A and B are shown apart, each in its own frame.
Chain A
Amino acid sequence: MAATQNTRTPLERIEYAIIISTLLLMVVVTVQPLLNLLAISLSDPAKLPGMSGMEILPRGLSFDVWSLLLNHPNVRAGMLNSIFITAAGTVLNIVFTALMAWGLSRPGLPGRRILFLLVLVTIVFDPGIIPDYFINKRLGLLDSYWSVILFKAVNAWYLIILIRFFEEIPQELLDAADLDGANPFQVFWFVVLPLAKPALATITLFYIVFHWNEFFRAMIYITDQNKWPLQVVLRQFVIGGDKLAIVGVDAANNHTGASQIDLRALKAGMIILTIVPILVIYPLILKFFTKGTMSGALKG
């Protein structure tokens, strides 16, 4: 296509300009609402009334909202719960998924085809939330972190991606390790895992995002508010409109503390706060996901 660059007609130039402006408009539409919320959360509360949804720069500068949120017991508990659920969940995900994928990727494994089929069935047939609820109830997981941590402990799609990846590992490497006297566990640990680092990194990021964003299971399975992850706290406050969740009953009655801060700014800050961990790992996501999706994931 480089050859055509010099011979572009005026029409082609106009077409190109339209394409670029459309894409840039898409960028604005995507990012502007987030920047607006950030600006609102950082604005001077006195200047907030009348601030338009179009503005992306804070009016004045104040960290009241952020210091309040970061010191708020519910928000802090939510952050810790989310971090714990995400960390424990992801570790479990990776261990379970990688081990299972390695076994299923061995061509001679007895029962390989039937196991693979049984995994596919779970993608196609999902009996829904009620039987899932009863299983969690029976296993005594209700109101425990484990109901959320164990949910999708092995994601069938990622399992298939990893199986495909393991199948590609050159046989010579495995043979060499075997001749050195390594048992299957050692082969997996010392040969397979190091080779699978890029694939594992991609899937780890998938799992982290999944756990951090999960709210539905936590909402229905965890009744103890002290165990709620951040998403559920956010939901109760912003979607449920339960301002007492953050402001607190005493503060609301006495017009002290959080009740003096604009509710709109509090909500905006809360939304941005929930996104921050995603933003932190986003550069990694861009690096690994884009590569991972390009190679194996499609023919899943």
Chain B
Amino acid sequence: MVAQSKQSNLAAIRGNVPKAESDQHAGFLARGIRQWWPYYAMMAPGIIFFVLFHYLPIWESKIAFEQLRIIPPNLWVGLKHFQLLFASPVFWQVLLNTLIISGMKMAFVFPVPIIVALMLNEVRSGSLRKFIQSAVYLPHFLSWVVIAGVFIAALSPSDGVVNDITGMFGAAPKSFMTDTGAIRWVLVYSEMWRSAGWDSLLYLAAIIAIDQALYDAAEMDGANRWQKIWHVTIPGIVPTIATLFILNAGIFLSADLNQVINFTNDVVRTQIDIVDTYVYRIGLQTGEYSLATAAGLFKAVLGMVLILMAHLFSKRLTGKGVW
């Protein structure tokens, strides 16, 4: 008995169930349970967590189709809240804001870490490169509350560093945080400040993994720095670019709630009110739970379609998806 259970342990750890043994007896299920229950016991806390905090919320989002009533059950109203949502000009405005902000970030932030990685790869002194890396990775680990605090100080019209510098060239001080024309650019720039350094690490890792022989061959063919970058380095990091592109597509409709909620104020709200801040406001602050959930669901479904499309697109293009 001991020997047998030891054997099945071994099989479990190996991951292959000995076929002859399991066919011999009718107790296939019992044997499976005896073999695998320790693993399910170990996974139980995690599985319970996923059920409670990921799958129950998905079930709970049925309130988007219901009229909430103080005394249950709630009333099923079908697509009423979605119709209300699509008829609301505010919703289209926040959707447009989200797309604009995400689009700006995609155009102006996404390429930056690629360039940073290419530049870092050119640095010949190891200690200089380490110094630069340790500095530019740091903002990635700061919270948006902190970053917003830093930006409010740096962009202050009276004593912020930005206006101090533009002032030296004779420009009048400008209050960027309360300027409807500037605030989206503040979001773009602060995102760049936070992530351009750290994201370059992923590209740098891909660059380092490129076979040195390819560079040697290119050199033999008389390639200069730029030709080597164009013909060896860039093709080598295309899969990484594709992966990060997909991940960005997946959060295209998010535009970063944590960032916006710390950079927003009454003056600029109309410019940077995004779907998530809208959901938060009409849901948790105004109490229109069903309408807010409908907006959240709309975003979730569209986001899922986007990430799956980007995944398939990337797989076709580079033979590589995200998972």
A residues with a Cβ closer than 8 A to B are 1, 3-5, 12, 15-16, 19-20, 22-24, 26-27, 29-34, 36-37, 50-54, 95-97, 99-100, 102-104, 106-110, 115, 118-120, 122, 124-135, 139, 150-151, 153-154, 159-160, 171, 174-175, 178-179, 181, 183-185, 187-188, 209, 212-216, 220, 231, 234-235, 238-239, 264, 267-268, 270-271, 274-275, 278, 282, 285-286, 290, 293-294, 298, 300
Q: How many A-B residue pairs have CB under 8 A?
A: 298
With A54-B161, A150-B53 as known contacts, state yes or no: A184 contacts B39, CB within 8 Å: yes
**B202 on the A face (CB < 8 A):** yes
A132-B208 Cα distance, complex, nearest whole Å:
41
- Which residues of the other chain, B, contact A19 by a CB distance below 8 angstroms? 119, 122-123
Tell me which of B45, B122, B149, B193 contacts A99 (CB under 8 A).
B45
A282 in contact with B138 (CB, 8 Å): yes
B161 in contact with A103 (CB, 8 Å): no
A151-B53 Cα distance, complex, nearest whole Å:
8
B285 to A, closest residue via Cβ: A220
B residues with a Cβ closer than 8 A to A are 6, 9-17, 32, 36, 38-40, 42-43, 45-47, 49-50, 52-58, 60-61, 63, 116, 119-120, 122-124, 128, 131-139, 141-146, 148-154, 156, 159-165, 193, 196-197, 201-202, 205-206, 208, 215, 219, 225, 240, 243, 250, 257-258, 261-262, 276, 279-280, 283-284, 289, 292-293, 295-297, 299-301, 303-304, 307-308, 322-323
Tell me which of A160, A294, A300 contacts B208 (CB under 8 A).
A294
B322 in contact with A30 (CB, 8 Å): no
A148-B141 Cα distance, complex, nearest whole Å:
19
A42-B28 Cα distance, complex, nearest whole Å:
71
How far apart are B303's CB and chain A's nearest CB, in angstroms?
7
New contact pairs (10) apart from A30-B139, A124-B307, A188-B42, CB-CB < 8 Å: A1-B215, A51-B159, A118-B55, A119-B50, A129-B284, A131-B293, A187-B13, A235-B145, A294-B201, A298-B205
A36 in contact with B304 (CB, 8 Å): no
Tell me which of A29, A50, A290 contacts B193 (CB under 8 A).
A29
A103-B283 Cα distance, complex, nearest whole Å:
38
- Which residues of the other chain, B, contact A103 by a CB distance below 8 angstroms? 39-40, 42-43
- Which residues of the other chain, B, contact A51 by a CB distance below 8 angstroms? 159
How far apart are A249's CB and chain B's nearest CB, in angstroms?
23
Tell me which of B43, B56, B276 contacts A100 (CB under 8 A).
B43
A134 in contact with B154 (CB, 8 Å): no
- Which residues of the other chain, A, contact B9 by a CB distance below 8 angstroms? 178, 183-184
